[in-house]
Amino acid sequence: MRAVACDQCPWRKVNQSKRHKFGFFTQANLKRLWNGLRKGNPMSCHKTDTGHPDHVACGAKGDKPKECAGSIIVIRQELQMIANWNDNTVTDDGIIEYKKRFKQSRITVVGFMYWVFERIQMAGVPIIGGKKLPEVDHSDEAIGLPESLKAKEE
């Protein structure tokens, strides 16, 4: 079963820049969240993360936070510019082209290692592999980075 971004996901385009009492959808917050993701820091779903007081105030419930499906979609969309997701391959040519097109790489080297190697290629392997990325529809056009954060071709 594929994970789906919730109706309150900050990566849902209709929410971006909406007013929210805790500023979840502001450009500043989205930039902060994106900076974490691109460096390899996974993001919890605010509706399931009771470890944050502002999330609890907004109705977060659950014993264990889930990973934000919207954040996974955003990461997969960005990585798709590097890899061929149809056969799950990352090639030297893809990396070189990504770096050429975007002089300031959106995904950092550490982030790339985390998302591609630890969470995708080595997922589940003891010691070196992380938890497998949830299945998501990375072609979901309702989810994405705001224009201000999208990779700019140079």
Residue 94: what residue type? G
Cα gap 1→23, rounded to integer Å: 31
β-strand partners of 44: 67
Q: What pLDDT was estimated at residue 105?
A: 62
At residue 88, the pLDDT reads 63
Q: Tell me the pLDDT of the chain (154 aa) as tens digits.
A: 788 998 889 999 999 988 877 778 888 889 999 999 999 999 988 888 777 777 777 777 878 888 999 999 999 988 888 876 566 677 788 888 888 887 666 888 899 999 988 998 899 898 888 889 888 988 889 999 988 887 666 6
* Residue-level pLDDT at 103: 65
Closest CA to 1 of 66, 46, 48: 66
Spatial distance between the Cα atoms of 87 and 142, rounded to a whole number of angstroms = 24
Whether the CB-CB separation of 26 and 18 falls below 8 Å is answered with: no
Residue 154 pLDDT:
60
> Do residues 119 and 37 touch, judged by C-beta distance below 8 A?
no
Residue 147 in tokens? 């224009």
